[in-house]
Structure 1
Amino acid sequence: MAKKILVLEGDGVGKEVIKSAIKILEFIREKLKLKIELEYDYIGGECIDRFGVAIKEETIKKAKKYGIVLLGAVGGYKWEKSKVKPEEGLLKLRKEMGVYANIRPIHSFFNRNIDIVFVRELTGGIYFGKPRKRWIKNNRTFVIDTLKYSDKEIERVVRVAFEIARNRKKFLVSVDKANVLESSRLWREIVNKISEEYKDVKVEHHLVDSFAMNLILKPEYFDVVVTENLFGDILTDEAAVLVGSLGLLPSASLAFKKEKVIGLYEPIHGSAPDIAGKNIANPIGAILSVALMFKYSLKRDDIYELIYQAVQKTLEKGYKTFDLDKNNYLQTDKFTDKIIENMNVN
């Protein structure tokens, strides 16, 4: 039976980079005779324009049924004042799919000493907590956002991080703000509790502010990092400095259910409306998201390695995208073709 993948291109450069990712996927599918079927749908701003919502309920149902989603990016200037925000579709998709563990590899193709895996909690915390509101009283404006976690939400993502650490260098750093936030104190307690089950993994606790500094000063020190939703969002964008561009970084948002892995795969960059339609977006983050899809959802580590090695070889030969070298670069589609040329598919 063929595996079905739901493709949501989204907005802006999301469409361009997903086109490149699908080109890689279809090349591999043809060469290796893989049984994979693709189905396209809408999310974000274009979905708002067409249907008045950031994501349709039937799209959510398909995502949950297939369990594998490849996504581009959402948002743009056009919808800044829209009552319905494109990002609402992405947050709803993550929540409905239940993909609580966001895996973000920070791997430098230019410095072999930088190879970090971030594990970010994705479906809890301040992005989802309620109440969330704004109100006016006595001519003053007030706002409230709620940071809420349960012990279960923390435990399940921390276990994912420990498992990844156990299979790498057996070193896990947990990032929190336990000197101020009650949620972080619970986070640290749970990490310590679960560490008793992973005696072979060394654990360190770092406060988020000092970690943010050390991530830049000594990135080679870190291997696997686990943290909550907001911190993980900010820190992984910061980490893009270490590898050269946001456009290089993929992500896999996962939920582990017995033998099945539910996966939402997307580059970590945004829709970049300023360069959308110019054929200069970096497709590597999207292409490597396909690699992660093969690794986790399709259980094909060999294809994961194949794609990574092709990207590595392409960059080593001196080919660059616009964000890496504005004076000497290949356009998005041409760079994708070079990756295919450097792919050794038997």
Structure 2
Amino acid sequence: MPKIVTLPGDGIGPEVTAAAVQVLREVAPDLQFEEHAIGGGAYEAHGDPFPQRTRDALADADAVLLGTVGGAQNSPWNSLPRPLRPESGLLALRKALGCYANLRPVRVQPGLEHLSPLKPELARGVDILIVRELLGGVYFDGDRKLDGDTAYNTMRYTTPEVERVAKMAFWAAEQRKGRVTSVDKANVLEVSELWRRDVQALRDREYRSIHLNHEYVDSVAMLIVSDPSRYDVIVTENLFGDILSDLAAVIPGSLGLMPSASLGDGAGLFEPIHGSAPDIAGKGVANPAAAIMSAAMLLRHGLKRSDAANSIERAVALALREEPTRDLGGKADTKTFTNAVLEAMGTPVG
């Protein structure tokens, strides 16, 4: 019986995670769920944003389903020492799982072009996969300091780190259209020179069937919203990937439609990319689509159950057409949308 560790987290995390678990229970009744704490709530309860009991639970997990972590900008959590802040718990979670590659699909479903703020002719048919390196760069490098009026962070990568995430991108492209765009800033940064050199060398050595293109991050930031159909798979480092994937979320219409899978050495981590939205937490109006689609990615990448994943994704697309949530101009609340997904999967809802 596969064990799924759920980490609902903060803000709207518990609400959207509950919706995703409800859908998972219907499509895969053999799954075993075990809930644990992470983030700001974990700090308040245990004095640690990534408590030891949560770490221990990961040891025999087959997959991890995460909600959201963090609070409002004026949250007292933000005044804590950095190692105790909610986001530090998330970074520690990723490192503990060895999740070095974050897969973020950006897809406009047929018939849902009207949800995008882009012109329908630009949004139609968009299907991008952003592969973000997740354990290196400025977010993890220990060479950092804030000292009075001076501060610095260091972006550092090694060839093995670049190659392992590039392999994930090339593998994904082989299942898709066979095109990879590697994003860097090699005209300014030495670390990007290394990135570009190593990605190209790996392609030439092991993935000659893949068409590889190199682009600067500032150019991609413009083209991903002005000509998104030019992209198939995008691979880039941690900071650039964080920014570009949030920017790309505008294409489908909302951060509430953006799932993700973080893969690597052990159990995968699956989570929506939106924030904790504390202003609507507890009101029952959060859009659970990204969490539910993250559950579909859990089935596909974590448990190798593609048929079940496809069933969820088709149901979400139908629910978005018939019962759009408030952030998409509709009226559906969390419960209404989740029920619409279950009904689209053929599950009676009482």
The answer on whether the counterparts of 1:64 and 1:97 sit within 8 Å (CA) in structure 2 is: no
What's 1:220 paired with?
Answer: 229
1:198 is aligned to 2:207: yes
Q: What 5-or-longer segments of structure 1 have no aligned partner? A: none
User: Secondary structure, in 3 states, of the residue corresponding to 1:76?
Assistant: coil
Q: Which has the higher strand share?
A: 1
Which 5+ residue runs of structure 2 have no aligned equivalent?
114-123
**Which digits, 9 at most, give the CA deviation of each residue in 1:71-90, with x for residues without a partner?**
00011033222332111110
Q: The residue matched to 1:282 in structure 2 has which SS?
A: coil
Match of 1:315 among 314, 320, 325: 320
Alignment of 1:331-346 (within 5 A): 331-344=333-346
- What are the equivalent positions in structure 2 for 1:23-42 lying under 5 Å apart? 23-30=22-29, 35-42=30-37
Paired AA for residue 224 in structure 2: L
Within 5 A, what are the aligned runs for 1:39-188?
Answer: 39-77=34-72, 78=75, 79-83=77-81, 84-109=84-109, 110-111=112-113, 112-136=124-148, 141-188=149-196
How far apart are the structure 2 equivalents of 1:344 and 1:320?
19
AA at the equivalent of 1:157 = V
Does 2:20 correspond to 1:16? Answer: no
Within 2, Cα distance between the matches of 1:17 and 1:43?
Answer: 15
TM-score normalised according to structure 2 size: 0.92
Number of the residue aligned with 1:279: 284
Partner of 2:118: none
Letter in 1 for 2:33: L
Q: Which amino acid aligns with 2:170?
A: F
Return the alpha-carbon distance in structure 2 between the equivalents of residues 143 and 262 of structure 1: 35
CA distance in 1, matches of 2:108, 2:128: 9
Query: What is the CA-CA distance between 1:57 and the residue it aligns to?
Result: 2.0
SS of the residue 2:251 aligns to: helix
Q: Is the 8 A contact 2:3 2:60 kept in 1?
A: no
Letter in 2 for 1:105: P
Cα distance between partner residues in 2 of 1:95 and 1:183: 21
Three-state SS of the structure 2 residue aligned to 1:205 is strand
Aligned-residue RMSD, C-alpha: 1.2
Amino acid at match of 1:303: A
Q: How many residues are matched?
A: 329
The letter for the 2-side match of 1:333 is: K
Q: What is the TM-score with the length of structure 1 in the denominator?
A: 0.93
Cα–Cα, structure 1 residues 67 and 148, in superposed 2: closer, same or farther, change >3 Å?
A: farther
The one-character-per-residue Cα deviations of 1:170-197 (angstroms, maximum 9, x if unpaired) are: 1100000000111110000011111111
Identity of paired residues, percent?
Answer: 46
